[in-house]
Amino acid sequence: MDKRHDTFTDLHLGTPIWFTLLARLLPVALFAQFVTAGLGLFFDAQLIGLHMALGFTLALPPLGLLAGALLVPRLRGFAWWASVLFLLYLVQVALAAGGNPLPMSLHPANGALLLAASLVLLFKVERRRGQLQPASKA
């Protein structure tokens, strides 16, 4: 039985650039969501519209990461975190769509969980990419 961590399988094949870019884009876009929401609440209410539009386009990175983790065999080690990200995204949309103040009040907290999960996945992707780098001789 192979004792390597699942995200380190088939390292010689590399990590697809599109998967790496999606993993890098997601935390940046989620941070932009926090910024646009905060600025929209305190300075310019029109930014809430940008927050909503960006939120809908944010479906693409979690969906792409999940599809990659499920369909590309060497990325199967990312399937758990990609699934968590996609599920948290769905919860985020559901919380935003609800008219009840209680679920909507959980929207920022779920957003923070989504950002944290995206950073964990990014760390794992970069760790896999780092395994390909030859050790430097000091």
Per-residue pLDDT band at 22 (split at 50, 70, 90): very high
Domain residue ranges of the chain, discontinuous segments joined by +: 6-129
* pLDDT at position 3 over 80: no
Q: How many helices (H) and strands (E) does the chain have?
A: 6, 0
pLDDT digits (tens, 9 = 90+) for 30-64: 998 988 888 877 887 788 888 888 888 999 999 99
- Model's pTM, two decimal places? 0.84
| Residue at 32: amino acid letter | A
- Give the dihedral sign, CA 46/32/78/14: positive
Separation of first and last alpha carbons in the chain: 34
